[in-house]
Every structure is written in structure tokens, then in C-alpha cells.
Structure 1
Amino acid sequence: MSLTRKRQKELKRLRSNAEDLWGQQQEVLSNANALAAEARKQAAYYTREEIAPRVREGYDSYVRPAAQTARDTAGKYAGVARDRLVGDVIPAVGTAVGTALSVVDHARAARSAAFAGDFKKAGKELTRKASVAKQKSGPGAGTVIAVGLGVIAAAGLLYAVWQTFRADDELWVADEEPTTPPAE
């Protein structure tokens, strides 16, 4: 099947137009890439010149003093904290673990007795299990102090981040409208 000269000429013109359009699109993409590279470079400059110093200043004026105060306070009360840990926390944790293991042990003994058919012994084990489970211990003073210090440290960190990233009206200056030369 052969094409007429007219159709061949139209197809050749169409191909030429498509190639021109392709070239124009490549030029637009090249310009867009150059613009994006320049924007990336300007963003890096802005970050290095404006944002990094503000973050460093916020860190130096809020986080570092709070950390130093916490370190000094921890150093001052390290002996007290160690004594509380050894005297209150470790025994409480040991008691809780021992109680849990005792409850598990009684449950196993009751299940074993019930499986063997000795329901009277199983009932006694369940009664012992219930009495062991009623013993409880609450958090000690060391736990309360540790949680309090953690909350204070978290609040200080959040305040420092808020101070660093809060919006200052004086900081942002609106860009001037670019002046365009009058059309001739």
C-alpha cells in the first residue's frame, strides 16, 4: 500500500512539527532544571546563613543551660538516687516479680491437681493463689522522682524547640515585587 505524495508531504510536515515540539520541550525542561538547581543552592545558603545560626543560638541559650542544670542536679543527688534505687526500687521490683512467679506457680499446681483429678487440692491452690495476688506494692519515691525529672526534661526540650521555631514578625521581610520594563 503506497501513500500519495500529498499524504507523504503531510506526514513529513507532521514529523517535522513533532521534532520541533520535542526540541522545545527539551529546552523548557533544561530551563526548569537550571531554575531548580539555583533554588536548591539559594535554599542551602538561606539554611546556612539564617536557620542554622538560630537553631545554634536556641540550643546554646535554652537546651545547653537546661542540660547543665540537670547534670549538676543529678550529680548532687546521685548518692540519694542510688540509695533510693537500692533501698526502694530494687526490693519493690523483686517483690513484684516474686509475687507474679508465685501466682504462676500456684496456677500450675492447681491445673496439675485438677488434671490428676484431685479437685480438693486444686481448690486449695486457687485459694492460695488468690491470697498471694492480693498483696501489692506501689511505686516508691525513687520512681516518682525519676518520672518527675523526665517530665521536666521533656518540657524543657519542648520549650527550647518552640522558642527556636516560633514565628517572629520582624524576621520575615516580604520580597519586593520585581519591576518589569515597560512594554514597547
Structure 2
Amino acid sequence: MSEAEILRAHAEELLHEQQRVLSHAATVVREASRELGRVTSEEVIPRVARGARTTAKNTRDKLVDDVLPSVAAVIGSTLSVIDAARDQRLGQVASRVTALAAKGRPLVVPAVKSAGVGKYIGLGLLAAAVIGIGYVAWQTFRADDELWISEDE
């Protein structure tokens, strides 16, 4: 056998060895891919779903327990201040108290009329708006099992 034939035989043997190594590597990659898919579906997806549910529940609880009561209190306080500022009787009472105090006379405050129908309608609309906002927030942040990938899949 000549040296060229020996080199050619070694080259063919090396080529066949490389093909076997590549074939084995492809098999290992396929098995690793299957295992990664299994681990993802059994471990990662359920953990992410549980974390998302927990985050949504915590956000909803924070919104309902802390934010909405604060917003309602601010709106109520603002309406009270606006109502007091619009009440012309307050200015009349203040000027009368000042005048009586200057004369040294006893202070007599006139009886206040009951609130009008408009005030109750406004408060009813405000309550409906707050309830509507609360319901929308609850629907947005509630944990809905149908939105998540089940662990069986």
C-alpha cells in the first residue's frame, strides 16, 4: 500500500468517526430538548403560574384594602369642602357671629335647613361610581383559574 492510500484510508476512517460523533451528539441534543420540555411543563410553568396568581392577589388586596378607601376618603373630604364653600349661609353666619361678638351680645345660631335632594342624588352617583371602580378593579385583579395553564398539560 502506498502512502497516499494509507492517508486516504485514515481520512475515510476519520470521516466515519466524525459522522458517528455527530450522530451521537444529535441524539444527545434531542434527548436534552425533550428533558427540557418536560422540566419546563412540570416545573417552570406551574411555578410561574403560582407566582402570577400570588402577585395578582396581592395587588388586588392592596388596591381594595388601601387604595380605594383612601380615594373614597379624599373624594368625600373634597365634596364636604366644596359643599361648605358653596353654602352661602356659612358666610352669613360668620358675619353675624362677628357682629354679635363685637356688640358683646350672646351668640344665637339660626337653625340650619336640611340638605336638598341634589345633595343626596350627588352622593348616590358618587357611591355608584366608587362601587363601579371597585368592581372593575376586582374583575381586573381577581385570580381566574381559567386564565392559567393547568399543571396536567
Tell me if both proteins adopt one fold, taking TM over 0.5 as the criterion: no
Higher RCO, 1 vs 2 (CA within 8 Å, ≥6 residues apart): 2
Instruction: Please give the TM-score of this superposition, normalised by the length of structure 2.
Output: 0.42
Instruction: Please give the TM-score of this superposition, normalised by the length of structure 1.
Output: 0.36
